[in-house]
Amino acid sequence: GGVRPFGCDFEDCGKAFARRSDLVRHARIHTNERPFVCPYPQCQKSFIQRSALTVHIRVHTGERPHSCEVCQRSFSDSSSLARHRRVHTGRRPYVCHAPGCGRDFCRKTTLTKHCKRQHGPDSV
């Protein structure tokens, strides 16, 4: 990484950023300031970043601008599309490390559920 002159002053954080604007955004994690508020009545959700609000609004509008090139299924955000693509690639990056198991999964949440069910709640 490059020069990061803008350091976070919150106790035990230690993060630093190249731009002051990134530090300001980061500080909201500590202060829980959520200035980007959903404009839909009765929703009351708010966000640290404008981009998160933009993605959230799609819950209300139904917009799904990210499409799978293989099957044309569409998603409201790029991370959901990236996760879906594993269905076609067969990539299963989450492996169970319990002795004698070794099962693998497309999603971390599926691995976590597997571990709790098969190996007990303390295995996670």
pLDDT in tens, 83-118: 899 889 988 999 999 999 999 998 899 999 999 999
**Measured CA distances, 45 to 25, 57, 78 (Å):** 18, 10, 21
CATH assignment of 34-91, among 3.40.50.10240, 3.40.250.10, 3.40.1180.10, 3.30.160.60: 3.30.160.60
Tens-digit pLDDT profile for residues 71-91? 999 999 999 999 899 889 988
pTM of the model: 0.66
d(CA 77, CA 6): 30
Q: What is residue 41's predicted lDDT score, i.e. its pLDDT? A: 94
Could you tell me if 51 and 70 are in contact, meaning their C-beta atoms sit under 8 angstroms apart?
Answer: no
